[in-house]
Chains A and B, each alone.
Chain A
Amino acid sequence: MSADPAPLPAGRRSFLISSGQWAAGAAIVSLLPASPGRASPHAMQELIRSIIGEATLQPGKVRLDVPPLVENGNTVPLTVSVDSAITEADHVKAIHIVNEKNPQPHVISVTLGPRAGKAQLSIRIKLADSQQLTAIAEMSNGSFWSGSADVVVTLAACVEDLK
């Protein structure tokens, strides 16, 4: 999956226009956090759908290790491990990580194989807001499993302005 350039500025513009029309002023708009457009849980669901296709997503087997309270959203350590045998016949093919409130729902997709030995991945990510992270494991038999973790972020990343 390639990182697609999401039309975020347009999304924000149309949102501001529509909310401006609705509220007939900036009273409502000024209450909203001054940040560019965000991925939404809906965008995340669409991305998950594009990952798993027609298959069903089953909860379980996937564990996310992430601090529940993060001070700096610019660097959040995250470990995803999948409880699975790693053999030629039965292994984890891929792990995808998605989020609901960053500017884009996609975080990372990794391809593993029967040689991995252990289906575990550690990375450091950026989080723009307190939100739920979801990891999806694609098994060699075509099934998909997911796990989630909630993170509270005090200093947001990605969208801060350089002033």
Chain B
Amino acid sequence: MTARVLIHLPAKALRGEVIQIKTLIAHAMESGFRVGTNGNLIPRDIITVFTCRYNGEEIFRAELSPAIASNPFLSFFTTARESGTLEFHWSGDNGFVATETAAITVE
């Protein structure tokens, strides 16, 4: 299953600059507390863990719960240290996995 992912971060940064990273992923984030048309609870289907790795080192990790809105948006900061790639990884219920990478040039 592939999900549509949007990542926004500056392509270039100065060494030591604090940069903002914004991520958005298409996902229903079904809370498991809603009742469907047949009167039964709709089973929970959410993303539970998000991680961001900067050249292999984990710089940000989030553990999500059903209280996160659908199409989870996450924005956070990191310090640009060296050029390389950032790897974004989402995993969740029913074997949901999504990975995306973005490159950054540090001058």
A residues contacting B by CB (< 8 A) are: 1-3, 5, 8-9, 36, 74-76, 99, 102-104, 106-113, 115-127, 157-163
Contact = CB atoms under 8 A, between A and B. Distances in A.
Contacts, number: 120
A121 B63 contact: no
Contacts of B75: 121-123
Interface string B61-73: 1111111111011
Contacts of A1: 63
Given A110-B62, A111-B58, 14 more contacts: A3-B66, A5-B32, A9-B41, A74-B69, A76-B69, A103-B31, A115-B57, A115-B59, A115-B81, A117-B18, A117-B79, A123-B68, A125-B68, A126-B66
B61 A111 contact: yes
Given A112-B60, A115-B81, A122-B75, A104 B67 contact: yes
A162 B68 CA distance: 19
Given A3-B63, A106-B65, A118-B77, A161 B35 contact: yes
A104 B34 contact: no
Interface of B: 18-19, 22, 31-37, 41-42, 44, 46, 48, 54, 57-70, 72-79, 81
A103 B34 CA distance: 11
A77 to B, nearest CB: 8
Given A115-B54, A116-B76, A158 B64 contact: no
A122 B73 contact: yes
B66 A108 contact: no
Contacts of B72: 123-124
Contacts of A121: 74-76
Contacts of B41: 9
A9 B41 CA distance: 10
A8 B65 CA distance: 15
B77 to A, nearest CB: 4
Contacts of A76: 69
Contact of A161 (B18, B34, B57): B34
Given A116-B60, A117-B18, A117-B77, A107 B65 contact: yes
